[in-house]
Amino acid sequence: MGMLLLVLVLNLVISFFNARSVGRVWAESKAIGGWIRLVVWAGAIQSAIGFTYVYAFIVGYIAVSTGYLPAAMLGVLLNLMYVMIVVPLIGSAIIITIQSWITAARDRSLMNLGVAGWNTFATAYNTYNAVQSFGPALDSVQQGLGGVLGDGDSDDNAARVILLAAIVLLAGVLTTSVIIRRYEASLPVSEEVRNANRNLEYR
């Protein structure tokens, strides 16, 4: 339990700093567009997934401890969340990894090379785990939501799992959005972007 709590806190911290970093360059990336905008969106997705991951555990355990969900459905809820977030998680990680390669190629500092190496390892490892875990997770969701557990209230439980999953996902997205808006444009916008915006205004 202590290790789980540590992982959850670490995810919250990382997600917060990801959202803050995205917010600080949000306006400039929007003005520039292109690849950098895609990278910023990937960072926002990573942040939202991190918050969603934490909220899923918290909400799931509260739902079980209060009797809103039977204990057997906790795994179904967590697996449903995994199935929902794994594709955008891997996709955004690949984009960020490619950006770290570009950064390392332009500036071959020890830090940039280390970040690129770590991102490559983490993305490859997470992709391998996703390939191995997606099938069993999907089977668990299909069985749980299909009422195979033999619970007389299986339809109600399935609806509650879906409702909680939707709430948790929305909470993760909203948390990231609020942080991005809070720190948006807190970095000075470059002269290049100002000129681009000025040209757009006169069209």
Whether 55 has a pLDDT exceeding 90, the answer reads yes
Whether 64 has a pLDDT exceeding 90, the answer reads yes
- C-alpha span between 154 and 165 (Å, rounded): 16
User: HSE on the CB side for 169, CA within 13 Å?
Assistant: 16
User: With the C-alpha atoms ordered 21, 25, 27, 29, is the resulting torsion angle positive or negative?
Assistant: negative
Whether 73 has a pLDDT exceeding 80, the answer reads yes
Q: How far is CA 187 from CA 32, 37, 108, in A?
A: 15, 16, 25
Q: Highest mean pLDDT: which of 53-57, 150-154, 185-189?
A: 53-57
Give 48-74 as a DSSP string.
HHHHHHHHHHHHHHHHHHTTSS-THHH
Q: For residue range 110-163, what is the model confidence (pLDDT) as tens digits? A: 998 999 999 999 999 999 999 999 999 999 898 888 754 445 566 788 889 999
Tokens of 128: 């391998």
Determine the pLDDT at residue 28: 85
Determine the pLDDT at residue 190: 52
Report, as an integer, the average pLDDT of 54-69.
94
Give 117-184 as a DSSP string.
HHHHHHHHHHHHHHHHHHHHHHHHHHHHHTTTT--TTHHHHHHHHHHHHHHHHHHHHHHHHHHHHHHT
Q: How far is CA 116 from CA 94, 111, 123, in A?
A: 11, 9, 10
Closest listed residue to residue 88, CA positions, set 120, 130, 124: 130
Tokens of 178: 């609020």
Determine the pLDDT at residue 203: 33
Determine the pLDDT at residue 153: 60
What is the residue-averaged pLDDT of the chain? 86
Prediction pTM value? 0.83
* Number of Cβ within a 10 Å radius of residue 128: 10
Percent of the chain predicted with pLDDT > 70? 86
- C-alpha span between 133 and 82 (Å, rounded): 9
Determine the pLDDT at residue 42: 95
Determine the pLDDT at residue 146: 75
Determine the pLDDT at residue 154: 66
Which of 66-80, 153-167, 169-183 is predicted with the least confidence, judged by mean pLDDT? 153-167
Share in percent of the chain as helix, strand, coil (round to 5): 85, 0, 15
